[in-house]
Structure 1
Amino acid sequence: MRVFWELGWFFKERRKHYALGIFLLLLVALIGVLPPRIIGFVVDEISRGTLTPAFLIKWLSILAAAALVMYVLRYIWRLLIFGSSILLARNLRKQLFHHFTRMSPAFYQRRRVGDLMAHATNDLQAVQQTAGAGVLTLVDSLATGGFVIAAMALTISWELTLIVLLPMPILAYLTNYYGKMMHDRFHGAQLAFSGLNDKTQESISGMKVIKTFGQETEDVADFVKKTKKVVDENIRVARVDSLFDPTISAVIGVCYFLTIGFGSYFVVNGDMTIGDLVAFTAYLGLLVWPMLAFGWLFNIVERGRASYDRIRVLLAEPADIDDRKDALDVRPAGDIVFSINKFQFTGDDRAALKDVHFELKQGQTLGIAGKTGSGKSAILRLLLREFENYQGDITFGGKSINDYKKQRLREAIGYVPQDHFLFSTTVAGNIAFARPEATMEEVVEAAKLAHIHEDILNFADGYDTVVGERGVSLSGGQKQRISIARALMMRPELLILDDSLSAVDAKTEEAILASLKQTRIGETTIITSHRLSAIQHAHKIIVLEEGSIVEIGSHEELMNKKGRYYEMYELQQLEALVEQGGEA
C-alpha cells in the first residue's frame, strides 16, 4: 500500500473531496448492514407465526428508504473520488509534458518516443485507477468488512463470528504474497508495452521507407514478436492475478462450512434463533465482496505502484541544461563572439569542435562550409544552448549565452533545421506557430519573403490547407520555405539556416537570399550549406574540417587564397556546368 503514501501530496491537495467521499462511503457501508438484520427479524416472525402486515410494511419501508439513500450517496462519492482521480491524471500529464519541454536533445537520444508515450498513457491510467478505484476498494472493503463483522459479533453471536474468522490470517498471508509477485511482473508488462508502443510509432512514421525497401513482411514479423512479448508478460501477470479469486473463494467456502456447522449447533442448543442464523449467513454473503475486493485491490495497487515508480523516475531525471538563479530575463541582441577551445558530444571521445574562434558583428551574415561531420551543426547547437559541456565561451551582446534564460535566448534565434518538422495543421498555422496572435497579413508577408506564397495560393485551400502529419503532402522545397517563413515570423535577432535551402532550385535560393538581405538590415544571419552559392554573399565565411576552422574570410578573400574553399567552389562550378550539358 506504499503507493497511497507516495500519492499523499495529491490526497492532501484534494483532502476535502476525499474526506467527504470517504465519509459518504462509510455511511453507505453502515447502511448496508441493515438488510440482513431486517431479514432475520422477518424470518423470526414467520417462524413464530406472528408476522403482521404492519410489521412487514414497516421494515420494507425502512429497506426502501435505505436503498434510496444509498443510491444518492453512491452517486455523490463517485463524483468526489473518481473525479479527483481524473484530476490526478491531468496534473501528472501536465507535469510530464512540462518536463519533456525542459529536457535537452540528449534526453531524447536516451529515451525512445514510444516509451515516453507509454508513460503519458498506460502508466498514467494505472495511477489514476489507484487514486480512484484503489481508494474506493480499500475504504469500501475495510468499512464493509468491519461493519459486517461488528454486526455479526454484536447483534448475533460473537462466538460464531470468531469461529468463522479463523481462516482469515491464511487469506491475509496469501494475498500479500500474491501482491509482491504482481508488482514485479506488472513492471515487466509495462516495459513490454513501452517497446510495442515505440515499435508502432516508428513503423507508422517510417511506413514510406518500409515500403520503399520492401520490408513489410519483416516489419510485421518484428511487430508480432513484440506483441507476443506483451501478451506473454501480461499472461505472467494474469497467472498471479488469477490466484486471488480461487483462494478467496476457497476461504469463503470454509467460512460457510463453519457457519452452517456451528450455527446449526447453536440453534439446536437455543443459543441462536433461525432468523439469527439466516441473518448471519446473509452477513457472511456481504463479506464476500470485501474479500474479493482485497484481491482486486492488490491488482490495482501494484499496477499503480509500478507505473508511478516509472513516472517518478522519469520526472526525477534532471534537465541537462537549466536556467541559473540570476539568469537575465532579457532578449539578447548585438555582436556574437564564438570562442570554443574544445567540445565533444556525450559518449563520443572524438572532439566535435576544437579551437573554433570567430566574431560576428550585429547585422552581418556568416556562412559556414564543410563536409558532413565537419562540425557545422555542432556550432549551431551550441549557439542554441542545447549543450553546455564545452571548454570556452559564447557571448551574445557582450554576455555569455549561459547568463540568459533559455526561453529569452531562443526567442532571439530563428532556427530553420535540416530536418523540417511541420505540424498537422494548416499552412497558416504552421507559419504562425511562434506567433499565434499574428495577423493574416503578417503570415502572408513572411510567406512572400520565403518565396512560398505563390505555391500556397495553388494549394487546394490556400493558407487553410492542412499539410498532414510532418508535412507529408508537401515537397521538400515547400517544407523548407514554410520553415523559413515560420522562423521569420519570430522577427529574430539571429536567423540560422542550417542547410535549409538544399531542396530549392538555384533561382529560388537566390531570390530568398536577396529578400533576406533587403529585409534583415541590422540583423544577424548564419547560413550553413553544402552549396556554396548560398553563402558566397556572406560578410564572413568559415570553412570547417574535422571540427576546426581551416579558412576564414569573405568569398573574394577565400577565392584569392586558392585553398580549400577555392577547390570546393571550382568543383561545384564544374558540376553545375556538367548538369547544364557542358555549355558555359
Structure 2
Amino acid sequence: MKNFELLTSYVKQNKLLYLTAVILIILSNVDQSLLPQMLGKVTDGLKDGSLGRNGIIQYSLILLAIAVSYGVLFGLGQFTIMRLGRRFEFITRGKIFTQFAKLSEDFFSRQGTGKLLSYVMNDVTSVREAISFGVTQTTNAVFMVISCVAMMLITGIPVILILVSVGPLILIPFLVIYFGPRIRERSMHVQEDLATMTESADEQIGGIRVTKTFAMEDTAQRRFDDTVDGVRAAQLRLVRMSSLFQAILPFLGALSLVVSLLVGGYMTIQHHLSLGSFVALTFYLRMLTGPLQQIGNVINMMQRSGASLERVNRLLAEVPSVRDHDSAIELSSIGDIEIDHLNFTYPGASEKALEDITFTIRKGHTVGLIGRTGSGKSTLAKLLLRVYEPPEGAIRISGEDITEVSLDTLRRKIGYVPQDGFLFSTDIADNIAFSDRSANMQQIRSAADQALLLDSVNTFKEGFQTKLGERGLTLSGGQRQRASLARGLMKRPELLILDDSMSAVDTLTESGILGNLVKERQGKTTMIIAHRISSVQHANEIIVLDEGRIVQRGSHEELMARRDGLYASLYRIQQEGLQHA
C-alpha cells in the first residue's frame, strides 16, 4: 500500500468531490438499468395486445427521460473525475520538479535527461489515466453489475436462471490473479524502455549539429532505432498479454449470453418465463458485457499505472545527499574561508579528487587556482557551493563549518560562473538578470559592459531583446561565456567563483574583462579557476594543484622565481604557444 500513498492521499484530500462523482455514476447506472425492464414490459404489452397507442407514447417518453437523465448524471460524474485527474497530474508534476530542484548533483550524474523527462511525461500521464478512467470505469462496472442483477430479480427472472447465466463470470477473479502481476511486470519494462528512448532522442537531437558535422546521420539513426526497437518489443510483449486477457473477458460475456439463451429460451417455451422477462434478461446480460470489458481495461490500466506510480514514488523518496541540517546556520556575510586538510573522493570513485588541501581565502582577496586538467580545481569550487558535501570541519566560512550553513544562504551569497554557462531560451536581458528579477535595463547594460558583451549585443537587431536558441546557440562560444559572466556579475555576490569562464575568449578580451573585474571586485572575495596563467597572475595568492594536491602557492612573482616549478613550466609552455599562434 505504500506505493499507492501518493494516490490515496490525493483521493482523501478530495474525498467529497470523488464521493459526489461516484454517486452520480451510481445513479446513472441505476437509471440505465431500468431500460431492459421497460423494454420487457413493452414486449409483454405488445404480445398480449394490452399496449395501445397512448401506452407506446408513454413508454417512449419514459425511455427518453431515462436516456437523458443517464447522459446528464454520467456526464457530470465523469467530468468531475476527469477534472480531479488533471489536477492530480498538475500537482504531481509540480512535486516532481520540486524534487528535481532539491536533489543533489550525484543523482543527476546517474540519470539522463530523457529518463527524468519520462517521469514528468509518461509516468504521471499513466497514473492520471488510472485515477480518471479507472475510477469512472470501476464505479460504472461494479454498480452496473449490481444494478443489473438487482433489476433482474425485481423483474421476476428466476434466481436459478440468473445464477446459471452469470456463472461463467465467476472465472474473472482467477483471471485477474493470473494476468495482473504479469501485466504489471511487462508494464514496468515498457516504462523503463520508454525512458531510455526519450533519453536517446534527447541526446541525438541535442547533438544533431555534431552528427551532421561528422556526417554520422546513419550511425545516429541506428542508435535511435535500437532504442525504438526495444520499446516496440517490450510493448508487443505487454500487448500480447493484455490482449489475451481482454479477449477472454468478452468471451465469458458471450458464453453467459449463450447459456441464458439455451436455458432462458427453454423456460420461455415451457411458459415458466414470460417473453418480456426473457427479452429483459438478454438485454441485461448484454449490458453486462460492457462492464466486463471495462474491468479488463481497468485491471490493465491499474497494472500499468502501478508500475509508473512505483517509479514516481521511488523518485519522490530519493533523499538528497546534500541537505540542510535541522539547525542550519544563516550567515550574515561571507568572511574568511578556511580550508583545512580537505580530502574528497567522488561517489563511486576509487581515487581521491582532492587530498590534504589546506589554505585560507581572506575576505576581499582574489585567489587563483591553476593546474592541469583533472587536478581538482572545479571540484574545490563545487565543494564551496556544497554541490557535493565536503567532510565535516574541512571547510569553514566566517568560522562556521560549511556543512552547518544553510544551502540557501550559502548559494545566494556566492556567484558561480562555469566554463560552459547554461543559457535559457529567452532573451539576452532575461538571461543576464536571472538572479535579480527586479533589475532595470541600466543595471543589465552595466553588467554586460563589464563582461565586454555590450558591443556584441549592440550588433544584434533586437539588442538585449534578442531571443536565444536552445542553450544559447544564437551566440558564439565566447559570447555565451561573457553572457554567463555578466549574469554572475549581475548577482553582485560576496564570493565570485570564475571556473575557467574566459577560456573561449581571446587574450585581448580576457585582459579587458580582468581589468574590469579588478575595479568591480575591489574589496570583494574572488576565486578564479583557470588554465591560462594570464587569468590569475594579478591574484593576491595563486594555488597550483596537481593530481588533487597543492604543489605550489604564492604570488605570480614568487612562483615565477621557482623556475623548476610547475607554475613556471606552464607559463613557458603557454608563452611558446602564443608565439607560435
Q: TM-score, structure 2 length as denominator? A: 0.97
Distance 2:331 2:61 in 1: 73
Distance 2:4 2:335 in 1: 53
Amino acid at match of 1:573: Q
Find out whether 1:129 has 2:136 as its counterpart.
Answer: no
Find out whether 1:67 has 2:106 as its counterpart.
Answer: no
Distance 1:533 1:5 in 2: 58
Deviation of 1:57 (Å): 2.1
Deviation of 1:88 (Å): 1.1
Q: Deviations over 1:51-78 (max 9, x none)?
A: 1222222222222222222222223212
Distance 1:72 1:253 in 2: 30
Distance 1:180 1:169 in 2: 20
Amino acid at match of 1:19: L
Deviation of 1:268 (Å): 2.8
Distance 1:493 1:134, change over 3 A: same
Percentage identity across paired residues of the two chains: 35
Deviates further, 456-465 or 339-348: 339-348
Deviation of 1:317 (Å): 1.5
Query: Is the Cα–Cα contact under 8 Å of residues 449 and 515 in structure 1 kept in the other structure?
Result: yes
* 1:353 corresponds to: 354
Deviation of 1:6 (Å): 6.0
Q: Deviations over 1:357-384 (max 9, x none)?
A: 1111111100111000111111111101
* 1:152 corresponds to: 152
Deviates further, 228-237 or 383-392: 383-392
Query: Is the Cα–Cα contact under 8 Å of residues 3 and 313 in structure 2 kept in the other structure?
Result: no
Which aligned pairs between 1:178-217 and structure 2 lie closer than 5 A? 178-217=179-218
Amino acid at match of 1:566: A
* 2:230 corresponds to: 229
Amino acid at match of 2:101: T
Q: Deviations over 1:417-454 (max 9, x none)?
A: 11221111111111111112211111111111111011
Query: Is the Cα–Cα contact under 8 Å of residues 197 and 227 in structure 2 kept in the other structure?
Result: yes
SS in 2 for 1:367: strand
Deviation of 1:159 (Å): 2.0
Find out whether 1:566 has 2:568 as its counterpart.
Answer: yes
Deviation of 1:312 (Å): 0.8
Deviates further, 72-81 or 141-150: 72-81
Query: Is the Cα–Cα contact under 8 Å of residues 381 and 387 in structure 1 kept in the other structure?
Result: yes
Deviates further, 368-377 or 429-438: 429-438
Query: Is the Cα–Cα contact under 8 Å of residues 370 and 544 in structure 1 kept in the other structure?
Result: yes
* 2:527 corresponds to: 526
Deviation of 1:207 (Å): 1.2
Distance 1:578 1:224, change over 3 A: closer
Query: Is the Cα–Cα contact under 8 Å of residues 540 and 553 in structure 1 kept in the other structure?
Result: yes
Which aligned pairs between 1:392-407 and structure 2 lie closer than 5 A? 392-407=393-408
Which aligned pairs between 1:227-376 and structure 2 lie closer than 5 A? 227-376=228-377
Distance 1:341 1:5, change over 3 A: closer
Query: Is the Cα–Cα contact under 8 Å of residues 341 and 391 in structure 1 kept in the other structure?
Result: no
* 1:21 corresponds to: 21
* 1:56 corresponds to: 56
Long gaps (5+) in structure 2: none
Equivalenced residues, count: 579
Amino acid at match of 1:560: A
Amino acid at match of 1:468: G
Query: Is the Cα–Cα contact under 8 Å of residues 34 and 151 in structure 2 kept in the other structure?
Result: no
Deviation of 1:201 (Å): 0.4
* 1:32 corresponds to: 32
Find out whether 1:85 has 2:85 as its counterpart.
Answer: yes
Distance 1:3 1:323 in 2: 27
Q: Deviations over 1:334-364 (max 9, x none)?
A: 1111223311111222111111111111111
* 2:111 corresponds to: 111
Distance 2:408 2:4 in 1: 37
Amino acid at match of 2:399: G
Distance 1:260 1:134 in 2: 32
Query: Is the Cα–Cα contact under 8 Å of residues 263 and 277 in structure 1 kept in the other structure?
Result: yes
Deviates further, 219-228 or 124-133: 219-228
Query: Is the Cα–Cα contact under 8 Å of residues 39 and 280 in structure 2 kept in the other structure?
Result: yes
Long gaps (5+) in structure 1: 580-584
Distance 1:182 1:322 in 2: 38
Q: Deviations over 1:282-309 (max 9, x none)?
A: 1111101111111111111011001001
Amino acid at match of 2:252: V
* 1:488 corresponds to: 489
Deviation of 1:109 (Å): 1.1
SS in 2 for 1:167: helix
Amino acid at match of 2:290: W
Distance 1:340 1:25, change over 3 A: farther
Q: Deviations over 1:183-231 (max 9, x none)?
A: 1111111111111111100011111222223221111112111111111
SS in 2 for 1:497: strand
Deviates further, 59-68 or 313-322: 59-68
Query: Is the Cα–Cα contact under 8 Å of residues 193 and 231 in structure 2 kept in the other structure?
Result: yes
Distance 1:331 1:423 in 2: 31
Q: TM-score, structure 1 length as denominator? A: 0.96
Distance 1:24 1:74 in 2: 6
Distance 1:3 1:455 in 2: 54
Deviates further, 205-214 or 89-98: 205-214
Query: Is the Cα–Cα contact under 8 Å of residues 337 and 363 in structure 2 kept in the other structure?
Result: yes
Distance 1:190 1:240 in 2: 16
Deviation of 1:161 (Å): 0.5
Amino acid at match of 1:276: S
Q: Deviations over 1:1-58 (max 9, x none)?
A: 9976762111001111101000101000110111111111111110001112222222
Find out whether 1:544 has 2:548 as its counterpart.
Answer: no
* 1:474 corresponds to: 475
Deviation of 1:541 (Å): 0.5
Distance 1:258 1:276 in 2: 16
